[in-house]
Amino acid sequence: MKDIRLAIDVESGDFGPDVIISGIIEAEKRSKKPFHSLLCGNKDRIEGVLKKINADQGLQKFEIVHCRDSILPQDKRARVWKKRADSSIIRCITLQKESRVDASVSAGDTAILMGAALFILGRSLGVIRPALAAFLPTVCKKPVLLLDVGANLNCRVDHLVSFALMGSSYVSRFFDQLSPAVALLNIGKEPVKGTRVICDSAAELQKKCKNFIGFIEGNGVLSGDADVVVCDGFTGNVLLKACESILALTESVLDHNAGLLRLIKGRLSILDPENYGAVPFLGIKGTVLKAHGSSSSRAIANAILTAITAVEKKAVWSENVRPKG
């Protein structure tokens, strides 16, 4: 297999090119698969960082894609993919459209990245709305895929059914798992619990998703009972960020006991969102991964490793998912 080629938005995130490029170098050291990076951003700034990090071979090691434009705070998100075509975040997606790269990674604005991916790459066949998916750890030491986690705040029945099928396809390919268990997030397990949309979605999933196991409550998401948990983007985003706050809460409560804090943090390291690096958009004709804006170099490295696995296993492609609208 030829080397995987990644377009990486080095201007994105809270810390800029220094952290992004350090993460790329860390990923190269850790990756078992060779990959080639196309660094999208300001050429002079990128070269300055490369010289500072690796003066001897930095400039020869990477391909720089100079981007002359940048997205401004006042730009309207709905059209920015067209107006700011030469910005780093949009150029990454364009390189995929041109088949110059296999995947793109960005820590930029979620809405802008989703809009660019949707309008430049397009939806996969049969997908009604793309979704943002994230892995959460479980007590069974296997992750659960939660979707949507922020791309679609208000969802209809057909949206949730589509998310379930896309999530099942992704987990099946990413982990070589034949029939991942799919559950629908609800306030109870009884058939009469939940909103009309949730109840109707469960009825549809019984017909269209052979590995649907029913409802799961919030306290069961991290139990490992399901491999895929489906919800609307509002609920998923709240749950995701609540889980990410557990480590910070632990540090606050135990800051007086360094030894105990060290022990518990070691046990809870599985909850560190940086372990997952980035989350994919599902339902897009391409592999686009969104890293957290506050990502460290370690998180960026993990994002790149996730992208490599997703490309290698064609996990994000979902042409086989054809839910009826």
State the pLDDT at residue 255. Answer: 75
State the pLDDT at residue 265. Answer: 63
**CA atoms of 132 and 63, how far apart (whole Å):** 29
Residues of the chain with CATH 3.40.718.10: 1-127+275-325, 129-244
Residue indicated by tokens 């989703």 = 114
State the pLDDT at residue 271. Answer: 60
Show the CA angle centred on residue 169, arms to residues 163 and 174, nearest 5°. 120
More confident residue, 247 or 45: 45
| Model confidence at 161: pLDDT above 90 | yes
Q: What is the mean pLDDT of residues 295-307?
A: 91
Confidence of residue 79 (pLDDT cuts 50, 70, 90): confident
Indicate the pTM of the whole model: 0.84
Q: What is the mean pLDDT of residues 84-103?
A: 92
Range 1-127+275-325 classified under CATH 3.40.50.300: no
**Percentage of residues in the chain having pLDDT higher than 90:** 48
Ramachandran region, residue 71 (left: φ > 0; alpha: ψ -120 to 50; beta: rest): beta
Q: Which CATH number fits domain 129-244: 3.40.718.10, 3.40.109.10, 3.40.50.1100, 3.40.50.150?
A: 3.40.718.10
**Percentage of residues in the chain having pLDDT higher than 70:** 90
State the pLDDT at residue 266. Answer: 64
Backbone phi, psi, residue 114, to 5°? -65, -45
| Model confidence at 190: pLDDT above 70 | yes
| Model confidence at 273: pLDDT above 70 | no
| Model confidence at 267: pLDDT above 90 | no
**CA atoms of 133 and 252, how far apart (whole Å):** 29
